[in-house]
Amino acid sequence: MIKTLLFGLSFFVTLASMAAKVDSLNVPSTVMQRTMRAVIVLPESYAKSKANYPVLYLLHGGYGHFNDWITKSPDKNLIQRLADQYNLIIAMPEGEVFSYYLDSPVRKDSQFETYLTKEVISKLDNTYRTIRDRKGRVITGLSMGGYGSLLLAARHPDLYCAAGSMSGALNPDMQSWKLPPDMAKGIKQEFEKILGPIEQVPDTYATFSVINLADRLKANGQKLIFDCGVDDFLIEPNRELHRRFVFNQTPHDYSERPGGHSWEYWQNSLPNHALFFHNVLKENGSITQ
């Protein structure tokens, strides 16, 4: 019995020693004149290697924060396990509750496109051993983060070789979103804070629609993956982006699966994105081991 207990204890200690490291990083923003935080997950192999690692930027959703993927996913070890499985650094930066990861033309303290593409990447590259090239960077996220990842990829093809979206809120005009009127009104008001009233600046909303960036994403030649649950209130915008990619012949991986706008769905979706990105990074010669 004692030998069995000792063996079991040794087994779990061994598992713990193999776990990825969860780090917290302060990322100062010159453009917004404040400092925000990010969660960084380093694969177990990082401490024993001198190699440079590819980075997966993983964005949180609306009304959330940088640590959502670690604290809200039902599987609390999901991110660490994926980092170990694919030898990836996984970076989860702050996007605040409703920034949509864009540079707001209304609020000077909400310039998250510049923050993510310049300040966060620079801080990460100067803190960890990363591949400082687009061939070693990929990006995805959920809901607002899915929108943000495709927007940033479309506008910065020099930074990311692949991008994804889970249940992406792809169009700020909210056309075809299936929401109760009260909820739709509240979200519309949040968009007005960062973009202005849609009735006054419809062209701004059109410019920031990922659906309207389908041709640009095709021209960029990045590898793309996105999905949405069939019961999600955002299913129709995702289907529309898929239709546009089919029409303009953009290679992409699109899927619909059972589920709604939930952590259970995103927990099941993320491993598919990680595998997709692994294959892209392998093709690029950016896999460490």
Annotated domain spans of the chain: 20-284
Residues of the chain where predicted confidence (pLDDT) is lower than 50: 1-18
Q: What is the pLDDT of residue 13?
A: 36
Closest CA to 124 of 30, 47, 56, 43: 56
Dist. CA 178–CA 167, nearest whole Å: 13
Burial of 120 (0-12, 13-18, 19+ CB in 10 A): buried
Q: Of the candidates 284, 250, 253, which has an alpha carbon nearest to the alpha carbon of residue 269?
A: 253
pLDDT at 171: 98
Residues 6+ apart with CB under 8 A from 115: 27, 29, 31, 32, 36, 93
Q: How far from the centroid of its chain's Cα atoms is residue 226's Cα?
A: 11
Q: Answer yes or no: are the C-beta atoms of 166 and 269 closer than 8 Å.
A: yes
User: Any idea which residue has 């849609």 for tokens?
Assistant: 198
DSSP-derived pairing of the beta strands 89-93 and 55-59: parallel
Name the burial class of residue 185, with classes exposed (0-12), middle (13-18) and buried (19+) by CB atoms within 10 angstroms of its CB. Answer: exposed
Which pLDDT score is estimated for 1? 43
User: What's the pTM?
Assistant: 0.93
Domain 20-284 has CATH 3.40.50.1820: yes
* CA distance linking residue 171 with residue 186, whole number of Å: 16
Q: In what order do the strands lie in the sheet with 55-59?
A: 21-29, 34-42, 89-93, 55-59, 137-141, 162-166, 223-229, 253-257
CB 158 within 8 A of CB 220: no
Residue 180: Cβ-neighbour burial (10 angstroms; 0-12, 13-18, 19+): exposed
Identify the pLDDT of residue 61.
98
